[in-house]
Structure 1
Amino acid sequence: MTETAVPRVLVVDDDDNLREVMTLILEQGGFQVKSAWDVNSALGLIGCQTFDVLISDLHMPSAGDGLTVVSAMRHSNAKAVTIIFSAYPEMKAAASAILAQTDDIIVKPANIGNLVELVREKLLKGKSPPRVLASLATILEECSEATIDDWLSRVRKEDQVLTVWLDDSIRSAHLPQLLRDLVFRLRHPQPLGSRALASPSAAEHGPARRVQGYTASMMVEESRMLQVSIFQPSKTT
């Protein structure tokens, strides 16, 4: 990007209202902005256009969607500044693994009025130099057992989930294959613009939980705790 060029920003978020507000704020701040509502549309734009900045939600309909978009941007334009949003405050403290791939993480709801200032600051500093770390897939594969143990310890402390009593082995039975599916997806990314294959383990998990008596809110909370367990800082030390 030259000094006179207008920085180009890609905003990715499945929340229509938030995506539109961020786009408007960035445009008023002097940026050229394109937006995408899901991974496939984001990958399509990344594959055919050049961007100086990526701002993406971490938690979209499928697990790992935000990191899929970040990875695609890294491969397409390694110099682009990448900023991700997370709806969960715990992710700010557990962001070490994520920050190996991104330049900043913002917890929703954030004061997006400061978004223009943040983007300008990141562009002025330039992209962070790459860190030599093990791939996320390798870290996740090596720490799968520890991840499951950490997740179980979090679940045991959550009264909302534990209103349905399950033996630990039954409660976590889906996780080994789910984590293997996630590792495979990270190591074998789909071509830009293609639809990623769904995890069979994840597809079976929902119906099984309903039979076990889980409510939708319980499943969401359980999923949230798994995301925190996957990205906890101890995985990267």
Structure 2
Amino acid sequence: MTSINHAVATKDDEGHTAEIPRLLLVDDNEMVRLTLAKILEGGGFNVATAQSVNEALKLIGSQPFDALLSDLHMPGAGDGLTVVSAMRHFNPKAVTIIFSGFPEMKEAAAAILLQADEILVKPMSPDVLIQTIKDRLKAGANAVGRVTQTVAFLLEEDTQITIDDWLLRVNLEPDVITVRLSTEKRCAHLPHLFRDLITRLRKPLPLGTRALPSAAAVAHGLARREQGYTAAMIVEESRMLQVSIFQTLQNNLHRVDFSLLLLAVMAIADEVDSQLAQTMASYIAEAKVDLLPVVA
């Protein structure tokens, strides 16, 4: 449940009128959220709370905040990074703080690169938490902006890295991919696929639109038939390719433009699946030809 408190003016230690800092607290754990809200309000903050990324984004887009305190996982990996990115966009002067447990410190390190001003490790005493936020408010938010890149740029830059990752996955599954091929023949279709994919990302199609035909995907189906692949092997290769692509995005979360990420992921899945469908169609068509009787 989202709670919204309006800004309140108060007196500081010298008797001057001061506005209570407005802080957005984001955590999907209700007990943690309620407990922290009471602690922060008792420490002199005007607190709004959100239990999900969507609730947080609505508040961030509609109200000003002086500070953000967000859990890193809610429950999706990197959810806190999305909230940080949004706060940076709508409230660039707001202090952004990630709350993380020790098992999540790899993602927390990525949050630093996302320009989160502070990483706090659970558990933390209430006094230390309040003082840390107040000290950070006095220091102000980091002034240096984060340079982001499009998903198309990242995949184009890391095409060979992604192909190498895919090939490693294939080679680690000898029971799945039993056909022995040279690296050149195994990966021959991938440069074409990546070019189509990057073009799709740069010139997006409306959702629900049929993907463009790919001559390379059709040729790939014919080649895999000739090489002795089964249909299941082709599908498994495609699945592992999506895994490798998304691994590349995961490795570049600190560089990606989060506002474009969801649509890009949907386009990637649709393009790879569309090319798989075209590959399978040509593979099956060739198989039917093979079954035709030989006419003398």
Per-residue deviation, 1:138? 8.4
Farther-moved stretch of structure 1 (102-111 vs 29-38): 102-111
How do 1:10-21 residues align onto structure 2 when only pairs under 5 Å count?
Answer: 10-21=24-35
CA RMSD of aligned residues (A): 4.0
Distance in 1 (alpha carbons) for counterparts of 2:112 and 2:56: 20
Cα distance, 1:167–1:179 mapped onto 2, change above 3 Å: closer
Q: Choose the corresponding residue for 1:167, options 163, 166, 172.
A: 172
Of 100, 105, 119, the match for 1:105: 119
User: Are 2:138 and 1:124 aligned?
Assistant: yes
Shift of 1:139: 9.6
Question: What is the one-letter code of the residue matched to 1:83?
Answer: I
Calculate percent identity across the aligned residue pairs: 41
- Give 1:47-58 correspondences, 5 Å limit: 47-58=61-72
Tell me which residue corresponds to 1:73. 87
Distance 1:136 1:56 in 2: 25
Q: Among residues 89, 96, 101, which one is paired with 1:87 in the alignment?
A: 101
Matched, 1:188 2:188: no
2:19 partner SS: coil
CA distance in 2, matches of 1:118, 1:136: 34
**1:39–1:25 Cα change, 3 Å:** same
Answer yes or no: is the 8 Å Cα contact 1:43–1:69 preserved in 2.
Answer: yes
Are the counterparts in 2 of residues 137 and 187 from structure 1 also a CA contact under 8 Å? no
Tell me, in whole angstroms, the C-alpha distance in 2 between the residues paired with 1:127 and 1:18.
25
Q: What is the distance in 2 between the residues matched to 1:10 and 1:42?
A: 8
Alpha-carbon distance in 2 for matches of 1:177, 1:54 = 31
Count of residue correspondences:
180
| Larger Rg computed on CA atoms | 2
> Which amino acid in 1 is paired with 2:101?
A
The amino acid of 2:39's aligned partner reads I
TM-score (norm 2): 0.50
Q: What SS class does the counterpart of residue 51 from structure 1 fall into? A: coil
Question: How do 1:28-47 and structure 2 match up within 5 A?
Answer: 28-47=42-61
Between 1 and 2, higher relative CO (CA 8 Å, sep ≥ 6) is seen in: 1
> What is the TM-score with the length of structure 1 in the denominator?
0.60
Alpha-carbon spacing, 1:46–1:97, altered in 2? closer, same or farther (3 Å): same
CA shift, 1:62, in A, is 2.4
**Alignment check: 8 A CA contact 2:151 2:261 kept:** no
Residue by residue over 1:33-60, the C-alpha shift from the partner in whole angstroms, topping out at 9 and shown as x without a partner, is: 0000000111111111111000001111
Note the residue ranges of structure 2 that are not aligned, 5 or more in a row.
1-6, 10-16, 177-238, 271-296
- Aligned counterpart for 1:176 among listed residues 227, 230, 244: 244
Give CA deviations for 1:131-161 in whole Å, capped at 9, x if unaligned.
5645596897556848x97xx9xxxxxxxxx
Judged with a 3 Å threshold, the aligned counterparts in structure 2 of structure 1 residues 34 and 134 are, in CA distance, closer, same or farther, namely: closer
Counterpart residue type for residue 167 of structure 1: L
Where structure 1 has 5 or more consecutive residues not aligned to the other structure, the ranges are 153-165, 202-237
Q: CA offset at residue 96 of structure 1?
A: 4.5
Rounded Cα–Cα distance in structure 2 between residues aligned with 1:83 and 1:8: 14
For 1:122 and 1:97, how far apart are their aligned partners in 2?
19
Alignment correspondent of 2:220: none
Q: Describe the SS at the equivalent of 1:85.
A: strand
Give the stretch that moved more between structures: 172-181 or 36-45: 172-181
The one-letter code matched in structure 2 to 1:75 is: H
1:95 Cα deviation from its structure 2 partner: 4.5
